[in-house]
Amino acid sequence: MTNIRNIAIIAHVDHGKTTLVDKILHFCELFRENQQTGELILDNNDLERERGITILSKNVSVTYKDTKINIIDTPGHADFGGEVERVLNMADGVLLLVDAFEGPMPQTRFVLGKALELGLKPIVVVNKVDKPNCDPEAAHEAVFDLMFNLDATEEQLDFPTVYGSAKHNWMSDDWKNQTENIAPLLDMVLEHVPAPRVEEGTPQMLITSLDYSKYTGRIAIGRLKRGTLKENQQVTLIKRDGTPVKSKIKEVFVFDGMGRAKVSEVHAGDICAITGIEGFEIGDTIADFENPEALPTIRIDEPTMSMLFTINDSPFFGKEGKFVTSRHINDRLEKEMEKNLALRVEETEKADAFRVYGRGVLHLSVLIETMRREGYELQIGQPQVILKEVDGVKCEPIEELVVDLPEDKSGTAVEMVTMRKGEMLNMEPKGDRMIVTFNIPSRGLIGLRNALLTATAGEAIMNHRFIGFEAYKGEIPGRQNGSLISMDKGTAIPYSINRLQDRGKFFIDPGVEIYEGQVVGENSRAGDMVVNITKTKHLTNIRSAGADDKMRIAPAIKFSLEEALEYIQGDEYVEVTPQNIRLRKILLKETDRKRA
């Protein structure tokens, strides 16, 4: 089987990976002419479509000039690095997408480094050359410099480049010369991506990803390294720790277009899906029944952040959610750990609370958002960074942060990041914007995005990636302002909110149900303040001129889930239900808070 190519598409967020896959699918005539497909075909879950990002990697295959091309679309965020690392094991080459205006960005570096380590040769696609003021040649140079810095080999540095615009459906080897379609890119894939290296011998396959079907159970996905696998074949499953388990394959599928096709046997080099094998995990090897040999398993970067997940025990619990008990939450987290490699869950002293470890606030908030849509109710504590001891020194995770913002606002950004123990490494102008690079503790990133966006009137773009652990940098000042806490359970009355407006900003609208101990706003000063916003106007029978002036209530601040998680303090929880996100104190009664 020489006519197979396995490629992964890697790039920074928003440089156009999923759009490019759409165009390849259309070009290879995967759909009927009259079929309505919409855009971003592969981002098929609601969360991915709303946020416009890829979270889970996807496999599809197309046929071009009698060659089967397996394409793997990968996420661009470093928070989903666990996804990218394991998927690259299935590929023989990568398409590196770079925006012609922005050039390679921090996450590009993260994913490209992983690909070069595995010895994959990249094809560089300079995308979006139709943007005004872009410089495709400078982007090409920047990619070369980046690969040189990442210790690429001579052969990897000799990479082919193609220019074009995925959105306008053309690719060409010269950016000034626009072509009809994206055929030049696919020709380059056939020419430069090697066919899978096939060894003779007993079958070996590393399980790099998994799927679930309620009819057949768990499905193992991976690339067959050597040999052949047939349906109903007896095999040995070698676990990550080396224990062999006898097992039997039921059915074998290969990827065909957007779906899977059932085959009687699959040959080395192709990516396949296998049903019937029980109790496997990602990183296990499917090997020969008589002489099993294991493949090296997948190493995944460890988590850098943790949050406390606990059952919802607020006065409004169980009003909206279907799954509210600790058993429900525990089962759901265990199910998630099977698929989500970079996630870890530990039990705590309390039976109804779990500590969940992940790669960042985004990684964990996507899990919380998914659970909330499935009908779970839960409460989440303040995100904590994982500290560890290295040679007796307390160490914390450090990240590289790149902020892109208007030139006149760069001073503000530098000041805000240095207050959070960040060190500035580099500052370079690009057009009328400034690109500033820092090293900053992961702790300093919590809540920074909000503060930066406010300070730069929404113009700052920030990206960060984990570098490693360094010695603890000392205390970082937290949020300056305290919270406004409700004194009573009831309905928020416009009259009360209006009278308290000079005390701070509110997070709730008039007429909303609230409870004692709920955080209803931000105090304009430091320290918490208990307010009564359920008090109605005292009615008298004396009229006075101008007593009933029109009320002007400022609109409430509405947090997204990530913003809420970054906003809360150590003694607060975010209460997440299918319809609401509320902030509350852990201890609801004021007397209990004073005692504590």
Let me know: does 576 contact 379? Beta carbons within 8 Å.
yes
Q: Is 587 a member of any domain?
A: yes
Q: How far is CA 22 from CA 16, 77, 98, in A?
A: 10, 20, 17
Asked if residue 115 and residue 23 are part of one domain, the reply reads: yes
Is 402 a known ligand-binding residue? no
The count of domains in the chain is 4
Asked if residue 569 and residue 487 are part of one domain, the reply reads: yes
Asked if residue 92 and residue 229 are part of one domain, the reply reads: no
Residue 301 — pLDDT band, cuts 50, 70, 90? low
Per-residue pLDDT at 174 exceeds 60 = yes
Q: Is 429 a member of any domain?
A: yes
Q: Which helix (H) or strand (E) holds 203?
A: none
Domain boundary at 157, 192, 227, which? Answer: 192
Is 15 a known ligand-binding residue? yes
Asked if residue 492 and residue 584 are part of one domain, the reply reads: yes
Query: Tell me: the pLDDT tens digits for 356-380?
Result: 998 888 888 889 998 999 999 999 9
Q: Is 98 a member of any domain?
A: yes
Asked if residue 175 and residue 101 are part of one domain, the reply reads: yes
Give the CATH number of the domain where residue 139 resides.
3.40.50.300
What is the percent of the chain where pLDDT is above 70?
90
Per-residue pLDDT at 173 exceeds 90 = no
Q: Beta 305-311 vs 384-385: how paired, if at all?
A: antiparallel
- Which of the residue ranges 60-64, 203-207, 257-261, 262-266 would you say has the lowest mean pLDDT? 257-261
Residue 45 — pLDDT band, cuts 50, 70, 90? low
Per-residue pLDDT at 109 exceeds 50 = yes
Asked if residue 589 and residue 516 are part of one domain, the reply reads: yes
Asked if residue 120 and residue 72 are part of one domain, the reply reads: yes
Query: What distance in Å separates the CA atoms of residue 253 and residue 266, rounded to the nearest whole number?
Result: 8
Query: Tell me: the pLDDT tens digits for 488-520?
Result: 999 999 888 988 999 999 999 999 999 999 999
Q: What is the mean pLDDT of residues 529-550?
A: 76
Taking alpha carbons only, the member of 380, 436, 433 closest to residue 413 is 436
Is 17 a known ligand-binding residue? yes
Asked if residue 450 and residue 488 are part of one domain, the reply reads: no
Give the CATH number of the domain where residue 269 resides.
2.40.30.10
Is 14 a known ligand-binding residue? yes
Amino acid 153: pLDDT: 87
Q: Is 414 a member of any domain?
A: yes
Asked if residue 393 and residue 540 are part of one domain, the reply reads: no
Q: Is 332 a member of any domain?
A: no
Q: List the structure tokens of 171.
A: 């690719």
Amino acid 459: pLDDT: 81
477 contact partners, CB below 8 Å, separation of at least 6:
419, 420
Comparison of pLDDT for 105 and 400, the residue scoring more: 400
CA-CA-CA-CA torsion sign (202, 207, 208, 212): positive
Residue 1 — pLDDT band, cuts 50, 70, 90? very low
Amino acid 28: pLDDT: 76
Is 129 a known ligand-binding residue? yes
Domain boundary at 142, 170, 192, which? Answer: 192
Give the CATH number of the domain where residue 454 resides.
3.30.70.240
Is 127 a known ligand-binding residue? yes
Taking alpha carbons only, the member of 499, 495, 497, 533 closest to residue 515 is 533
Taking alpha carbons only, the member of 11, 39, 55, 31 closest to residue 340 is 55
Is 370 a known ligand-binding residue? no
Could you give the angle at the alpha carbon of 525 between the alpha carbons of 523 and 531, nearest 5°?
A: 35
Amino acid 51: pLDDT: 58
Asked if residue 487 and residue 512 are part of one domain, the reply reads: yes
Asked if residue 181 and residue 104 are part of one domain, the reply reads: yes
Q: Is 231 a member of any domain?
A: yes
Angle formed by the axes of helices 448-455 and 410-419, nearest 10°: 150
Q: Which domain holds residue 210?
A: 204-288
Per-residue pLDDT at 263 exceeds 70 = yes
Per-residue pLDDT at 40 exceeds 60 = no
Mean pLDDT of the chain: 83
Q: List the structure tokens of 88.
A: 């690259």
Domain boundary at 233, 265, 288, which? Answer: 288
Q: What is the mean pLDDT of residues 319-334?
A: 91
Q: Which residues pair with 483 in a beta bridge?
A: 522
Q: Is 324 a member of any domain?
A: no
Asked if residue 146 and residue 75 are part of one domain, the reply reads: yes
Amino acid 76: pLDDT: 62
Per-residue pLDDT at 575 exceeds 90 = yes
Q: Mean pLDDT highest for which of 60-64, 454-458, 530-534?
A: 530-534
Q: List the structure tokens of 352.
A: 């109804």
Q: List the structure tokens of 264.
A: 């009687």
Q: Is 404 a member of any domain?
A: yes
- Which of the residue ranges 32-36, 67-71, 290-294, 451-455 would you say has the lowest mean pLDDT? 32-36
